[in-house]
Structure 1
Amino acid sequence: MRRAAIVGTGAIAAAHAEALRAAGDRIELVAVVDVDADRAAAFAQEWGVPRVHPRLATLLDVEDLDVVHVCTPPRSHVPLALECLAANVNVLVEKPPALSLSEIDTLIAAERASAGRVATVFQHRFGPAAIRLRRMIADGVLGRSLVAKSDTLWYRDGAYFDVPWRGSWDSEGGGPTMGHGIHQFDLMLSVLGPWQEIRALAARQARDVATEDVSMALVTFADGTVASVINSVLSPRETSELRFDFEHATVEVEHLYGYTDAHWTVTPAPGHDDVATRWREEQSGIVSGHKCQLAVFLDALDSGETPPVTMADTRNTMEFIAALYASAFTGTAVKAGQIGPDNPFYATMEGIGAPWANAR
């Protein structure tokens, strides 16, 4: 049986503990770490975890581990992942995995020198419907991709941002683009493949934060698909929506924090009813979530493959975010590959500074 530990026992850690429990005898949660000893102890008691450690270094010294789940606030993700890689331990890190492209490249370099691997939690890639959609695209059933949209319209009030690390560039890395919409447009990227160019805007409309509270982007993909992306924490009617218009059908999903097949619809183009028939051949009530990704993660470890989502996949999504901010703050179109070490948006998503920074 494989052995896991969780670092950071805040809210998202419960989803990881639940996924580990659901994996049955494939893996055991043997320890947790948190800077808040009381919270760690309460979490360990709730989930039946035998040991609590005060810091990651102690954990790595005394435990024989296959994977560490990093569930701490974003600023600590990369330092903790680097510690795990130095100990040749695999890492499953929550989103956002890093605060910048520079940090991502640091992780990539460290991974090359380690027996451990880093995977990012982008769980919506692994729901049965998303897997089916990518397979149908690969099989040519849907025809050419033409138009798409990704909308993450959520609501977070002022009290949400009272948590010290939220709403700042140096601790969260960005606003809803980085911390909320990332799940939806990452799924879009996994479906549509390489993006080519972004034209974007970002604004601070209502929340007293340093980052944006809404962003919008127009995106061109390498295959010619054109797409729109909206990320908001100002929207009282909350929804997470993706729409893909192919030659032979429109495929849509509307959910909030996790989907089943019931959240998806397929509308065939005239003369292509076979698309809907094929979609209905496989039906599942499984909710896209951490359980789905952990199962695939363990399959990869068992087969000796690199667990998804790989650092190359993660970098593509993080570069998308950096390009969105760069376009929004400079008023120019930004192409894939344009943000290198000499670009101000490489070291921080804030880049040259948000237009509203001086108004605070």
Structure 2
Amino acid sequence: MRTYRVAVVGTGGIAEAAHVPAIRAAGERAKLVTAVDADPARLAVFQQKTGVPVAYQSLKSMLRTEKPDLVQVCTPPATHADIAITCLEAGAWVLLEKPPALSLAEYDRISAAEADGGPFASVVFQHRFGSGARHARNLIESGALGRPLVALCHTTWFRDQSYFDVPWRGKWATEGGGPTMGHGIHQIDLLLALLGEWTEVRAMAARLDRTMETEDVSMAIVRFASGAMASIVNSVLSPREESYLRLDLTEATVEVTHLYGYHNTDWRYTPAPHVTDERLIRSWSAVPEDVGSSHSAQLPHLLDAMDRGQRPPLSGAEGRAALELITALYRSAFTGTPVTREQLEPGDVFYHRMNGDVKL
């Protein structure tokens, strides 16, 4: 078994709370060997807490000296594209925190820096990897729950004004968007994992209460290639916080309610009135393992791909999917028109900037 040498770039809260535990949970497959941060005080605290043996303030110096196999990028969104490209060009695989880039144009620059057989850049969308989601996806894809018809995808969270007073937050040029981009993106990706490709988006976005450039709430209606329709709500104004996903299919309703991560018990299956086979109904909830949605659940899949020299999950087109739907949502909200995938091309201003240079 190969042990991959891992570097963390950006030593803020998400690195310590999620990335370091995931590296440690991987056991002998991954070893945290170094960290990078432009803030020497923050870097020193991270070193003291994690015991990482050596640290750098320069990304290029770290790559040249340490030659890590994998770099986990935990910096603010505006820095992701340049960091990812630098790491890929140095021969390191990359795991990017969400949002992976500020625009489709930036994401496509990252993809262009990948090489056949690796290195590749993958995105942290951990909700796909919990056992509850993987089980639901298998049931839906097998047809066991019938045909998908209606879906709800809600990320209704609360962030006070002080959260957006951090200099890079709430700005199009540095965060890329508001709760749609920075918070709802996880649930949106899970919705796409379960329902597949979308064909049309109609949306609205507004800034109702917080002082910032971006929206603090958005709503969208999405039509999928299957014909199913979904309602998406993203908010940072909601005192009772909840992440909620509901899919109504011809044979059953599937729901998951959580906040920042789920376990099997957070998933519910309700049979349609005509479905009366109790053994069948019980089988929907019979998941042999209970793996919560977390960075620790996703990282082994990336390491497996590194073992094989193959494209990992949530890289390339799969890693781009949520960003693409969010681009369509913003385009629809700012233009007041429905949006299809074909419109999101390099010649369109929204391909390059999420707000299309329109002020909210």
TM bin, normalised by shorter chain, reads over 0.9
Counterpart in the other structure of 1:108? 111
Q: For each residue in 1:280-315, what CA deviation from the matched residue of structure 2 results, as whole angstroms up to 9, or x when unmatched?
A: 321444321100000111122123321111121122
Structure 2: how far apart are the matches of 1:170 and 1:114?
33
Counterpart in the other structure of 1:47? 50
Structure 2: how far apart are the matches of 1:23 and 1:228?
37
| Residue 267, structure 1, aligned to residue 261, structure 2 | no
Question: What is the CA distance between 1:51 and its match in structure 2?
Answer: 0.8
Q: 210, 223, 231: which is aligned to 1:220?
A: 223
Letter in 2 for 1:346: Y
| Residue 99, structure 1, aligned to residue 98, structure 2 | no
Structure 2: how far apart are the matches of 1:107 and 1:308?
15
Unaligned stretches of 5+ residues in structure 1: none
Structure 1: how far apart are the matches of 2:52 and 2:314?
26
Structure 2: how far apart are the matches of 1:125 and 1:64?
30
Q: 349, 352, 357: which is aligned to 2:354?
A: 349
Structure 1: how far apart are the matches of 2:201 and 2:280?
31
Q: How is 1:298-309 mapped onto 2 (pairs within 5 angstroms)?
A: 298-309=303-314
Question: What is the CA distance between 1:227 and its match in structure 2?
Answer: 0.4
Structure 2: how far apart are the matches of 1:154 and 1:322?
21
Structure 2: how far apart are the matches of 1:112 and 1:172?
28
Structure 1: how far apart are the matches of 2:346 and 2:229?
28
Counterpart in the other structure of 2:7? 5
Q: 8 Å contact 2:264–2:287 — kept in the other structure?
A: no
SS at match of 1:337: helix
Letter in 2 for 1:321: I
Letter in 2 for 1:29: L
| Residue 165, structure 1, aligned to residue 168, structure 2 | yes
Counterpart in the other structure of 1:72? 75
Q: 321, 324, 327: which is aligned to 1:319?
A: 324
Question: What is the CA distance between 1:256 and its match in structure 2?
Answer: 0.2
Structure 2: how far apart are the matches of 1:113 and 1:305?
8
Q: 8 Å contact 1:188–1:242 — kept in the other structure?
A: yes
Moved over 4 A (4+): none
Question: What is the CA distance between 1:113 and its match in structure 2?
Answer: 7.1
Counterpart in the other structure of 2:26? 23
Identity of aligned residues (%): 53
Q: How is 1:102-141 mapped onto 2 (pairs within 5 angstroms)?
A: 102-112=105-115, 115-141=118-144
Residues 234, 112 of structure 1: alpha-carbon distance in 2 compared, 3 angstrom cutoff:
same
Q: TM-score, normalised by structure 1?
A: 0.96
| Residue 282, structure 1, aligned to residue 284, structure 2 | no
Question: What is the CA distance between 1:333 and its match in structure 2?
Answer: 0.2
Aligned residue pairs, count: 355
Q: 8 Å contact 2:77–2:98 — kept in the other structure?
A: yes
Letter in 2 for 1:193: G
Counterpart in the other structure of 1:234? 237
Residues 330, 344 of structure 1: alpha-carbon distance in 2 compared, 3 angstrom cutoff:
same
SS at match of 2:310: coil
Counterpart in the other structure of 2:258? 255
Q: 8 Å contact 2:11–2:35 — kept in the other structure?
A: yes
Structure 1: how far apart are the matches of 2:154 and 2:144?
25
Residues 84, 114 of structure 1: alpha-carbon distance in 2 compared, 3 angstrom cutoff:
farther
Q: 8 Å contact 2:313–2:319 — kept in the other structure?
A: no
SS at match of 2:113: helix
Counterpart in the other structure of 1:340? 345
Counterpart in the other structure of 2:156? 153
CA RMSD of aligned residues (A): 1.3
Letter in 2 for 1:3: R
Question: What is the CA distance between 1:323 and its match in structure 2?
Answer: 0.6
Q: For each residue in 1:267-287, what CA deviation from the matched residue of structure 2 results, as whole angstroms up to 9, or x when unmatched?
A: 011243454322232144432
Counterpart in the other structure of 1:57? 60
Structure 1: how far apart are the matches of 2:117 and 2:90?
8
